[in-house]
Amino acid sequence: MFKKITQLFLILSFMFPLFSCSGTNKHTVSDIAPRESFVFLRKVLTVHKCENNLCTSVDLKHSASGYVVKTIDDGSFAITAAHVCKNEKSPTVKPENVTSKYLAYRLDGEEYKASVLEYDMKIDACIIFIADLTENVEAVRISRRAPKPGDKVYNIAAPVGIYKPNIVPILEGRYNGEDENVALYTLPAAPGSSGSMIVNEGGQLVGMVHSVFTRFHVMTLSTRYEDLKHFIKYNLKKYMAYKEVMRILNLKDIFNS
């Protein structure tokens, strides 16, 4: 009897790891977080002013976050917040005296030029084209379902410009639901987080940071899932069609102008 009990114990000891957590195929955050979809954005506004035949130029730099949603043979389409793409008008500076340029940085620090294609201030979403960004980048996938209150989420962003080659913060939070035309997340954010992706536990896109409560920086506002999904799919379809027409007619590529 003792021999049989000993044999049973040995069998159970062997099988236990197969049924324990260590034997499962559970993914870690590093497995699912689409870090290579992240792009660090820098917007440079140059203000030109002339007085008494003396002209000066001042560069105003702003940083933000974005993420790639599609890569083609000559670049990538990315999404960020609309207020990043919109140039605010100053009552003291004429529009013709202000020029802007956008730079995008891959996760590894490589720099590229970006062009604003279109933005929608109602949902605070903007689509840009990053010329020549075709390698070492991954397009984030859109989730097939909207998040549910209580769902755990991850945010890949550069709050207050925190970004270095191969270093980007990964933040955790929870989805809380919708309020009118925005989605609410319990998620830390700060200036620089604008335009950053919010992904579910499968690493799929469910939202995008565009605002944060100034007196409570862990309550973040996002574009609603359905609005964001529609904006991305509609504009990708439209600009891919434009791209094809320009190719057929041999027209100048406005994506890189």
* CATH classification at residue 208: 2.40.10.120
In a domain, 237, yes or no: no
In a domain, 177, yes or no: yes
Continuous H helices in 104-178 = none
229 alpha-carbon distance from chain centroid: 13
Separation of first and last alpha carbons in the chain = 84
In a domain, 235, yes or no: no
Report whether pLDDT(155) > 70: yes
Q: Write the pLDDT tens digit of every residue in 156-178.
A: 999 999 999 999 999 999 999 99
In a domain, 88, yes or no: yes
In a domain, 125, yes or no: yes
Q: How many domains does the chain have?
A: 1
pLDDT band at 27 (very low <50, low <70, confident <90, very high): low
175: CB partners within 8 A, 6+ apart = 147, 148, 149, 150, 151, 153, 183, 184, 185, 206, 207
In a domain, 21, yes or no: no
Helix (H) / strand (E) element for 78: namely strand 75-80
pLDDT band at 18 (very low <50, low <70, confident <90, very high): very low
In a domain, 6, yes or no: no
Q: Write the pLDDT tens digit of every residue in 193-209.
A: 999 999 999 999 999 99
Whole-number Å distance between alpha carbons of 74 and 134: 7
Whole-number Å distance between alpha carbons of 129 and 110: 16
Span 215-240, average pLDDT: 95
Whole-number Å distance between alpha carbons of 165 and 88: 30
For the chain, what percentages of helix, strand and coil (3-state, to nearest 5) are there? 25, 40, 35
Q: What is the per-residue pLDDT for 99?
A: 79
Q: Write the pLDDT tens digit of every residue in 92-127.
A: 555 556 778 899 999 999 999 999 999 999 999 999
In a domain, 16, yes or no: no
Whole-number Å distance between alpha carbons of 21 and 95: 61
| Structural domain span for residue 63 | 32-229
